Amino acid sequence: MTAPRSAVGSQARAVAIICMLVSGVSGAASVSAAVGLSDRGIRSAESLPRGTPTTDLFARLAEAHARASQPDRHARAALLVVVAISMFFTFVSAGRVLRPAGLSREGIRRLLCGAALVSAVLRTVDGAADAAFALRFARFATQVLPPGERVPPDPGLAPTLTLGTSIIQTVLVAGTLAIVAQYFRSARVKAWAALKDEAPR
């Protein structure tokens, strides 16, 4: 029985490390996106240099990007802050799987399940908001681009890439966190946590 339980412990730690990577990167990206939606981020987009066809094109696309952000800018910024906080709790909970620091394994397991599930739901909602923004951006971009002009290969300014990236990120992050939550809800992880709590410290 010791070998299977040891294998479960190794798997749980590996899943916790993956969870820390995903939640850490996603949380940092949420903070960065929230800063980009602030008044300072909008002003910096409006003050881009002009003077050449390329810089003029980038400036017009940046303006379209800012216009597309306006309808729900504050709501999206608030949502991103909530996502970042939830990702932080998920990151810390996953870290406690590796280093319990005297805490109950069962309590850590439950906390990680809840935090990962909430983060997955919030990231899905944020992904839907990102997709709506990308569609607005595509509409505004077609208005500012001259006929026949192609969008430059900048992932932050290309509407199609913006939408595609948003969908991929949502599936990867929300899907991974949902799998993490489901894994730590499994019977074998519950049994492993109970065994660890019963063992003398």
Instruction: Provide block-wise average pLDDT over 10 residues at a time, the chain (201 residues).
Output: 66 95 95 79 56 64 71 86 96 93 89 96 92 78 61 51 78 96 94 81 55
Name the nearest CA neighbour of 165 among 29, 42, 15. Answer: 29
d(CA 191, CA 196): 9
Rounded CA separation 193/47 (Å): 55
Which residue range forms the structural domain that includes residue 89? 2-198
The confidence score (pLDDT) of residue 93 equals 95
Residue listed under structure tokens 């590996």 = 14
Give the pLDDT score at 57.
Answer: 64
Domain count, the chain: 1
pLDDT at 78: 92
* Predicted local confidence at residue 43, as pLDDT: 54
pLDDT given for residue 197 in this prediction: 77
CB atoms within 10 A of CB 201: 6
**Lookup: tokens for 89:** 């709790």
pLDDT at 40: 59
Does the predicted model carry a pTM greater than 0.85?
Answer: no
At 147 the pLDDT is 57
The pLDDT of residue 131 is: 83
DSSP-based three-state secondary structure for 101: coil
Q: Specify the pLDDT at position 36.
A: 78
